[in-house]
Structure 1
Amino acid sequence: MTLFRLILLTLACICTGFFAQAEISDVRIVGNGEPTRITVWSDTAQDAGAFLAQSGGQRSLIVPLEGEISPRVGKGAGGVETWALSSGRLSFALDRPLMVSRVLNLPPTGSATSYRVIIDLETVSPARFASTAKRDMQRLARAESDSRKATYALAAAEITPPGPLRPSERKGDHKYVIVVDAGHGGKDPGTQSARGLLERDVTLKAALYLKDILEKDDRYVVRLTRDDDTFIELEDRVTLARNWGADLFISLHADAAGSPDVAGASVYTISERGERRIDKEADKNDWKIPVETGASKAISGILVDLVKRETKSHSAAFAELLLPELAAAGPVLRGTHRNAGFYVLLAPDVPAVLLEMGFLTNTADAKRLQSTAGRARTMQAVKRGIDKFFDRQEVIVASD
Structure 2
Amino acid sequence: MRIVGDGAPTRITIWTDVAETADGLVTEAPGERKVVLLLSQNGYSAAGEGSGGVESWSLEPGRLEFVLDRPMAVTRMLRLPPTGKERAYRVILDLDTISPARYTVAARRDVKKLAKLETEMAAARAEATKQLAGGKWPAGRSPGGARKHVVVIDAGHGGRDPGAMALTGGKEKEITLKAALALRDVLEKGGKYDVRLTRESDIYVEHEDRVTLARNWGADLFISLHADAAGSASVSGASVYTISARGETRIDREATKNDWKIAIEDGTPERLNGLLEDLVKRETKTRSAEFAEFLLPQLEKAGPVLRNTHRNAGFYVLLAPDVPAVLLELGFLTNEADAKRLQSDKGRKAAVEAIAEAIDTYFEAQDLRLAAN
Does the CA contact (< 8 Å) of 2:43 and 2:62 recur in 1?
no
1:301, distance to aligned residue in structure 2 (A): 0.7
Does the CA contact (< 8 Å) of 1:277 and 1:346 recur in 2?
yes
Of the candidates 163, 183, 186, which is equivalent to residue 159 of structure 2?
186
Residue aligning to 2:332: 359
- State TM-score, norm by structure 2: 0.69
The two structures, once aligned, show a CA RMSD in angstroms of: 3.3
| Superimposed CA distance per residue, residues 119-143 of structure 1 (whole angstroms, 9 cap, x where no aligned partner) | xxxxxxxxxxxx75xx76x70338x
Residue aligning to 2:252: 279
Task: Give me the whole-angstrom Cα distance separating, in 1, the residues matched to 2:250 and 2:277.
Answer: 15
Does the CA contact (< 8 Å) of 1:150 and 1:302 recur in 2?
no
**1:215 and 2:188 equivalent?**
yes
Residue aligning to 2:66: 87
Q: Say if 1:48 and 1:206 are closer, same or farther in 2 by CA, change over 3 A.
A: same
**1:242 and 2:215 equivalent?**
yes
**1:303 and 2:276 equivalent?**
yes
- State TM-score, norm by structure 1: 0.64
Does the CA contact (< 8 Å) of 2:120 and 2:272 recur in 1?
no
**1:167 and 2:138 equivalent?**
yes
Q: Give the aligned residue type for 2:119.
A: A
Aligned length: 283
Q: Give the aligned residue type for 2:43.
A: D
Task: Give me the whole-angstrom Cα distance separating, in 1, the residues matched to 2:121 and 2:236.
Answer: 53
1:87, distance to aligned residue in structure 2 (A): 2.5
Larger Cα Rg: Structure 1 or Structure 2?
Answer: 2
Q: Give the aligned residue type for 2:177.
A: L
| Superimposed CA distance per residue, residues 339-398 of structure 1 (whole angstroms, 9 cap, x where no aligned partner) | 000000000010000000000000000000111110110010000000000111122222
1:149, distance to aligned residue in structure 2 (A): 8.6
**Aligned ranges 1:47-58 → 2 under 5 Å:** 47-48=43-44
Q: Say if 1:349 and 1:197 are closer, same or farther in 2 by CA, change over 3 A.
A: same
1:319, distance to aligned residue in structure 2 (A): 0.3
Of the candidates 338, 341, 360, which is equivalent to residue 314 of structure 2?
341
1:67, distance to aligned residue in structure 2 (A): 8.7
Task: Give me the whole-angstrom Cα distance separating, in 1, the residues matched to 2:114 and 2:136.
Answer: 21
| Superimposed CA distance per residue, residues 154-198 of structure 1 (whole angstroms, 9 cap, x where no aligned partner) | 536995847725625966422111100000000000001223320
Identity fraction in percent: 57
1:269, distance to aligned residue in structure 2 (A): 0.4
Task: Give me the whole-angstrom Cα distance separating, in 2, the residues matched to 1:63 and 1:359.
Answer: 44
Corresponding residue SS for 1:214: helix
Q: Give the aligned residue type for 2:329.
A: E
Does the CA contact (< 8 Å) of 1:292 and 1:300 recur in 2?
no
| Superimposed CA distance per residue, residues 53-99 of structure 1 (whole angstroms, 9 cap, x where no aligned partner) | xx9xxxxxx9943499xxxxxxxxxxxxxxxx9638xxxxxxxxxxx
**1:155 and 2:126 equivalent?**
no
Corresponding residue SS for 2:249: helix
| Superimposed CA distance per residue, residues 284-326 of structure 1 (whole angstroms, 9 cap, x where no aligned partner) | 0000011133333320111111111111110000000000000
Q: Give the aligned residue type for 1:87.
A: F
Q: Say if 1:320 and 1:63 are closer, same or farther in 2 by CA, change over 3 A.
A: farther
Unaligned segments of structure 2, at least 5 residues:
1-40, 52-56, 68-84, 94-111
Residue aligning to 1:269: 242
Task: Give me the whole-angstrom Cα distance separating, in 2, the residues matched to 1:356 and 1:234.
Answer: 17
**1:141 and 2:136 equivalent?**
no
1:215, distance to aligned residue in structure 2 (A): 0.1
Task: Give me the whole-angstrom Cα distance separating, in 2, the residues matched to 1:259 and 1:205.
Answer: 25
**1:65 and 2:60 equivalent?**
yes
Task: Give me the whole-angstrom Cα distance separating, in 1, the residues matched to 2:120 and 2:369.
Answer: 29
Task: Give me the whole-angstrom Cα distance separating, in 1, the residues matched to 2:162 and 2:190.
Answer: 31
Q: Say if 1:280 and 1:372 are closer, same or farther in 2 by CA, change over 3 A.
A: same
| Superimposed CA distance per residue, residues 219-246 of structure 1 (whole angstroms, 9 cap, x where no aligned partner) | 1111000000000000000000000111
Of the candidates 174, 199, 213, which is equivalent to residue 226 of structure 1?
199
Task: Give me the whole-angstrom Cα distance separating, in 1, the residues matched to 2:176 and 2:306.
Answer: 18
Q: Give the aligned residue type for 1:280.
A: R
Q: Say if 1:224 and 1:273 are closer, same or farther in 2 by CA, change over 3 A.
A: same
Does the CA contact (< 8 Å) of 1:188 and 1:231 recur in 2?
yes
Q: Give the aligned residue type for 2:192.
A: R
